[in-house]
Structure 1
Amino acid sequence: MTDQPLLVAAKERFAPWLIEPMLRNRQTYIKVAMAAAMINLFALVSSLFTMTVYDRVVPNDASSSLVGLSIGLGIIIIFDFILRLLRVYFVDIAGANIDYEVGDRLFAKIVALRLDQRRGSTGTLTGLMRELETLRDFFASATLTAFIDVPFILVTLGVIAMLGGVLVLLPLAMIPLVILAGLLTNPALDRLSARSLGDGLVKQSVLVETIGNLETVKASGAGPMLNERWREALNRHSHSSLGQRLLSSIAVTVASSANTIAYCGTIIVGVGLLRNHMITTGALLACSVLCGRSIAPLAQIATLLSRLSATRVAYRQINALMQTPSEGPAGDALKPVVQGRIELRNIAFRYPGASEKALDQLSLTIAPGEHVGFLGRVGSGKSTLARMVLGLYEPTEGAVLIDGIDVRQFDPAHLRHQVGASMQDHALLAGSVRENICLQRAHVDVDEMLRVAEISGTHRFMGQITNGYDLRLADRGDGLSGGQRQSISIARALAGRPPVLVFDEPSSAMDAQTEADLIGRLQEEIQGRTFLLITHRTPLLRLVDRIILLEQGRIAADGPRDAMLQRLTRGKVA
Structure 2
Amino acid sequence: NRLCNEVAYNLESVKVTQSYGFFEKQWNDINVINANVSTRQRYLVNALTQWAMSMQQLAYVITITVATYAAFEGKMTMGGIIALNILVSRTLAPMTRLSSLFIRWAQVKSSLKGLESIAQGEQDDPITQKKLRRPQLKGHLSLQNVEYSYEKEVDPAIQIGKLTIRAGEKVAILGPNGSGKSTLLKLLSGLYFTQKGEIKCDGLDMRQISERDLRRNINYFTQEVNLFNGTLRQNITFDDTEISDDVIIDVLQQTGLGGLLSSHPHGLDLPIKDGGIGLSVGQKQSVQIARMLLGKHNILLLDEPTASLDPNIEARLIQRLKQFSRDKTLILVTHRMPILELVDRIIVISNSRITADGSRDEILQRIQQVQKKENGS
Same-fold call, TM cutoff 0.5: yes
Equivalenced residue count is: 338
The SS at the match of 2:94 is helix
- Match among 544, 555, 561 for residue 360 of structure 2: 561
Q: State whether structure 2 residue 175 is matched by structure 1 residue 379.
A: no
**Backbone CA RMSD of aligned residues:** 4.6
The SS at the match of 2:278 is coil
What do the CA deviations read for 1:275-319 (whole angstroms, capped 9, x no partner)? 569649xx95x9967754543332456788899998887677556
Cα gap change, 1:435/1:325 in structure 2, threshold over 3 Å: closer, same or farther? closer
Q: How does 1:151-550 map to 2 (within 5 A)?
A: 273-274=71-72, 279=78, 292-299=88-95, 317=113, 320-330=116-126, 331-333=129-131, 334-352=133-151, 355-459=154-258, 461-463=260-262, 465-550=264-349
In 1, Cα distance between equivalents of 2:292 and 2:78 = 85
The SS at the match of 1:383 is helix
Match of 1:485, as an amino acid? K
The SS at the match of 1:429 is coil
> Which of the two has greater helix per residue?
1
Cα shift at 1:414: 4.0
In 2, Cα distance between equivalents of 1:315 and 1:489 = 33
Cα gap change, 1:302/1:485 in structure 2, threshold over 3 Å: closer, same or farther? closer
Cα shift at 1:352: 4.2
In 2, Cα distance between equivalents of 1:342 and 1:323 = 32
Q: How does 1:51-90 map to 2 (within 5 A)?
A: none
Cα gap change, 1:480/1:104 in structure 2, threshold over 3 Å: closer, same or farther? closer
What do the CA deviations read for 1:253-275 (whole angstroms, capped 9, x no partner)? xxxxxxx9x99998887666555
In 2, Cα distance between equivalents of 1:370 and 1:476 = 34
In 2, Cα distance between equivalents of 1:498 and 1:415 = 10
The SS at the match of 2:322 is helix
Cα shift at 1:382: 1.0
In 2, Cα distance between equivalents of 1:105 and 1:522 = 34
Match of 1:544, as an amino acid? V
The SS at the match of 2:193 is coil
Is the Cα–Cα contact under 8 Å of residues 340 and 530 in structure 1 kept in the other structure? yes
Cα shift at 1:388: 1.7
Report sequence identity in percent.
28
Is the Cα–Cα contact under 8 Å of residues 372 and 545 in structure 1 kept in the other structure? yes
Cα gap change, 1:311/1:429 in structure 2, threshold over 3 Å: closer, same or farther? closer
In 2, Cα distance between equivalents of 1:559 and 1:450 = 39
In 2, Cα distance between equivalents of 1:433 and 1:354 = 42
Is the Cα–Cα contact under 8 Å of residues 172 and 343 in structure 2 kept in the other structure? yes
In 2, Cα distance between equivalents of 1:296 and 1:506 = 68
Aligned residue for 1:241?
none
Cα gap change, 1:421/1:567 in structure 2, threshold over 3 Å: closer, same or farther? same
Is the Cα–Cα contact under 8 Å of residues 422 and 506 in structure 1 kept in the other structure? yes
Cα shift at 1:413: 4.1
Cα shift at 1:566: 0.8
Cα gap change, 1:563/1:467 in structure 2, threshold over 3 Å: closer, same or farther? same
Cα gap change, 1:295/1:492 in structure 2, threshold over 3 Å: closer, same or farther? same
TM-score normalised by the chain length of structure 1: 0.49
Cα shift at 1:444: 3.2
Aligned residue for 1:177?
none
In 2, Cα distance between equivalents of 1:112 and 1:422 = 13
Aligned residue for 2:25?
none
Match of 1:324, as an amino acid? Q
Aligned residue for 2:351?
552
Cα shift at 1:541: 0.7
If you compute each CA radius of gyration, which structure gives the higher value, 1 or 2? 1
In 2, Cα distance between equivalents of 1:343 and 1:541 = 22
What do the CA deviations read for 1:143-196 (whole angstroms, capped 9, x no partner)? x98xx99xx9xxx9xxx9xxxxxxxxxxxxxxxxxxxxxxxxxxxxxxxxxxxx
Cα shift at 1:326: 1.8
Greater RCO structure (CA 8 Å; 6+ sep):
2
The SS at the match of 1:571 is helix
The SS at the match of 2:251 is helix
Is the Cα–Cα contact under 8 Å of residues 267 and 288 in structure 1 kept in the other structure? no
Is the Cα–Cα contact under 8 Å of residues 438 and 445 in structure 1 kept in the other structure? no
TM-score normalised by the chain length of structure 2: 0.71
What do the CA deviations read for 1:329-368 (whole angstroms, capped 9, x no partner)? 3324435212222223322222247723211245422111
Structure 2: where are the runs of 5+ without partners? 14-29
The SS at the match of 2:302 is strand
Aligned residue for 2:21?
none
In 2, Cα distance between equivalents of 1:446 and 1:362 = 46
Aligned residue for 1:31?
none
